[in-house]
Structure 1
Amino acid sequence: MNATIARRRGYGLDRRRFLGGLAGAAATLGLTACGAGGEQPAGSGDTRRIQHPLGSTEIPNDPRRVIALDPGPALQVALEHGVPLVASATLGTKPDVPKYLPKSKQDFEHLGFEPPDPESLAELNPDLIVGHQTSLADNYEVLSQLSNVVAYENTRDNVEWQQSCLTVADYYGYRKRQQELIDRYAERAAEVKRAHADVLGKTRIALLRFTTDELRIVTDSVIFPSRVLSDCGVRRSESSAAADKGDTYNSLSLEQVSRLADADALIYFGGGGAFEGEQVNSTFTNYTEGTLWQRLPAVRAGKVFEVPQNSWWDGYSATAANKIVDELTEVLRKL
């Protein structure tokens, strides 16, 4: 099978192929036992019933053929715990799976960033499909006919990233280990806060994202990188406050760049998810070559720092949070 399977081609499933997918999934479930790696979650027999945002689903205690339908927690938590993936959504960047994540113990199909075709998923005979509720909402009923499907909530639903990761880890049978990863991250973040207290106490930072068509201030909100900055004791600029409750970014036109004058330092990245390199580069040039950008105090002081988008934007796991801590520490040492 090709490294990237067929994309959306409509949702009508061929009867023979669909039934074959069902049979394969059922066979896999029948063979499932509490084996190599899970934490033996509570439940009778080899399955347990899970309540999730889109319904109630019976899932295997020890899934052996998992499909992750988003490149966030569904994929990243699976890699953290060695969950046996047969396929996963991946980023639209190169590499499409960040290298800071643990390497999968087995090859799996890279589905890309766009929603895959359910017919192709049926061919993989999954015994568990996991995705955030936005990625599953339109096709939940269809996918539920070919395997056990569970959804989780994320920051779009105002849910903290730690809770999202714990929920996904619970589906995989690794909630306790996930909590240990989160606790170790929290200890590291607290140590950064203590070690760099002097710099953090006198510095206001704005986190910026250059998209394909505009510059955005990532707000001091529930969004993943902002929470990591808060855990590390970073004070945000007033311009980083959400314009409206729940906003995860504030858009800046070319004429509004001077709003960043309240920041002592700027941290930025470009793109994210379905990265469009040329368009993002063009946006970056349009903004940073302008007079208003050049006049910013942080720019004039040489306190502008680029960070990787695949950790600061595409990351969504304890491993990614630790990566941000590493990269933030390097920035703080230069302030």
Structure 2
Amino acid sequence: MTRPRTMPVTLGRRRFLGGLTGTAAALGLAACGVSESDDDGGKDGKGGKGGKDAGTRSLKTDNGTVTVPAHPSRVVATVNYDALMLLDLGLVPVGVPDGTALKTLMPAESFAELKDVKTIGAPGAPNAQAVAALKPDLILDQFYKDKTAPLAKIAPVAYYEWGTSGALWHEQIAKIAKAVNREDRLTATRRQYEQRCKEVRTTYKKQIAASTWASLSGGQSGKFYLGSPLLTVMRDLGLQIGAGIPAKEAGFVEKSYEELDVLDDCTVLLYAGSFDGPIPPPTQELLDNKLFKGVRAVKAGHAYPVKHYGVATYTFANGAVDEIEAVLKKL
């Protein structure tokens, strides 16, 4: 996969989801989207190929091969996305970074599951004492290899580089599923998502064929970002994406307000929303800008907030499908 050429990818992600306390946002997608992932679930109801093993198993990670429990149950998430991915797999972590449970950034159901989970310190600065007190049997990380490596004295650490790897969000969750031996759960969840995409593509075939879309969010100092992880869902739904986002790239492509004419070919715009509370301030600043109000799709009344903008799990992806379907009904 290629990545946006106009800005450092990690910086763009961190700015976009600054409310996630320093974690990076989900990465972009290839044109094939999620539907061509090929993770294989086990048949024993407990996970993948290691599901029937007793005791421990060997797990290949980006920090080498580590010995982990056959069926981890007390898992510490050292970044926010670990926690959300675990929820997709039916596993509530026993520890999460400070600021993980935020009503503005996740569905109410996810917030309810995470709000009382013990915290272990800021992302990138885990408190070893706090982690040890939770007696974890596995520790997950996707961004802070050097910071979490010492935690291996407490429990095995499964590290999967995301910030610079170019991996897609569904590829990352597949790794997490393997780490916790719940690949069967992931397979079922993925298939539900694929079925929803198929239903929407079929039901709204005419609206999809007659429209061109883009996703965007506000930036700093008169800038905005074209593209987002939401593009994984948009492309899986067969939506035509505006020319401002290069093919097979998801963003974030940095533009100035003076370049808003890049959206001239779009008939529908989707922008970053909030689950509980106002639109994120950088995006609200964009919405209030006179130049933005003159954009074709905005003048036509077809610019819509999307709560599930930061897609990184199938829960978010399915929520985004529902929101996009609601927009398609208006076209």
Measured against the shorter chain, the TM-score band is 0.7 to 0.9
Which residue does the alignment assign to 2:298?
A: 299
Instruction: Identify which of 71, 83, 86 aligns with 2:91.
Output: 83
Which residue does the alignment assign to 2:317?
A: 321
Which residue does the alignment assign to 1:235?
A: 240
* Structure 2 residue 171 is the aligned partner of structure 1 residue 144: no
Q: Percent identity?
A: 23
- 2 CA distance for matches of 1:324 and 1:248? 17
Task: Decide whether aligned partners of structure 1 residues 270 and 329 sit closer, same or farther in structure 2, where only a CA change above 3 A counts.
Answer: closer
Task: Decide whether aligned partners of structure 1 residues 304 and 95 sit closer, same or farther in structure 2, where only a CA change above 3 A counts.
Answer: closer
- 2 CA distance for matches of 1:106 and 1:112? 15
RMSD: 3.2
Which residue does the alignment assign to 2:172?
A: 164
* Structure 2 residue 272 is the aligned partner of structure 1 residue 263: no
Say if 2:197 and 2:321, in contact at 8 Å, map to a contact too.
yes
Task: Decide whether aligned partners of structure 1 residues 317 and 234 sit closer, same or farther in structure 2, where only a CA change above 3 A counts.
Answer: same
Task: Decide whether aligned partners of structure 1 residues 319 and 114 sit closer, same or farther in structure 2, where only a CA change above 3 A counts.
Answer: same
The size of the alignment, in residue pairs, is 285
Which residue does the alignment assign to 1:226?
A: 231
Letter in 2 for 1:130: L
Instruction: Identify which of 319, 324, 330 aligns with 2:326.
Output: 330
Which residue does the alignment assign to 1:22?
A: none
For the pair shown, the structure with the greater C-alpha radius of gyration is: 1
Letter in 2 for 1:325: V
- 2 CA distance for matches of 1:120 and 1:199? 52
> 1:117-196 to 2 correspondence within 5 Å?
117-132=127-142, 134-135=143-144, 137-154=145-162, 156-196=164-204
- 1 CA distance for matches of 2:169 and 2:315? 12
Say if 2:213 and 2:239, in contact at 8 Å, map to a contact too.
yes
- 2 CA distance for matches of 1:172 and 1:165? 11
Q: 1:163: Cα distance to partner?
A: 2.3
Which residue does the alignment assign to 2:13?
A: none
Which residue does the alignment assign to 1:215?
A: 224
Say if 2:213 and 2:269, in contact at 8 Å, map to a contact too.
yes
Q: 1:201: Cα distance to partner?
A: 0.7
Q: Deviations over 1:173-230 (max 9, x none)?
A: 2101211110111111121111111111111111011245431111xxxx63111111
Letter in 1 for 2:242: S
Letter in 2 for 1:86: V
Say if 2:47 and 2:178, in contact at 8 Å, map to a contact too.
no
Q: 1:170: Cα distance to partner?
A: 1.5
Say if 2:268 and 2:297, in contact at 8 Å, map to a contact too.
yes
Range with greater deviation from structure 2 (245-254 or 195-204): 245-254
Superposed structure 1 runs of 4+ greater than 6 Å apart: 275-278
Q: 1:140: Cα distance to partner?
A: 3.6
Which residue does the alignment assign to 2:309?
A: 312
Range with greater deviation from structure 2 (109-118 or 181-190): 109-118
Which residue does the alignment assign to 1:249?
A: 252
- 2 CA distance for matches of 1:292 and 1:105? 40
Q: 1:146: Cα distance to partner?
A: 1.5
- 1 CA distance for matches of 2:290 and 2:93? 50
> 1:191-210 to 2 correspondence within 5 Å?
191-210=199-218
Q: Deviations over 1:60-89 (max 9, x none)?
A: 0122321012222x2123223332521123
> 1:12-23 to 2 correspondence within 5 Å?
none
Task: Decide whether aligned partners of structure 1 residues 103 and 39 sit closer, same or farther in structure 2, where only a CA change above 3 A counts.
Answer: farther
Say if 1:79 and 1:103, in contact at 8 Å, map to a contact too.
no
Q: 1:119: Cα distance to partner?
A: 3.1
Say if 1:92 and 1:112, in contact at 8 Å, map to a contact too.
no
Letter in 2 for 1:334: K
Residue 75 of structure 1 aligns to a residue whose secondary structure is helix
| Greater RCO structure (CA 8 Å; 6+ sep) | 2
Say if 2:218 and 2:284, in contact at 8 Å, map to a contact too.
no
Residue 215 of structure 1 aligns to a residue whose secondary structure is strand
- 2 CA distance for matches of 1:71 and 1:286? 26
Q: 1:123: Cα distance to partner?
A: 2.2
Say if 1:100 and 1:323, in contact at 8 Å, map to a contact too.
no
Instruction: Identify which of 47, 58, 65 aligns with 1:49.
Output: 58
Unaligned stretches of 5+ in structure 2?
1-20, 22-44
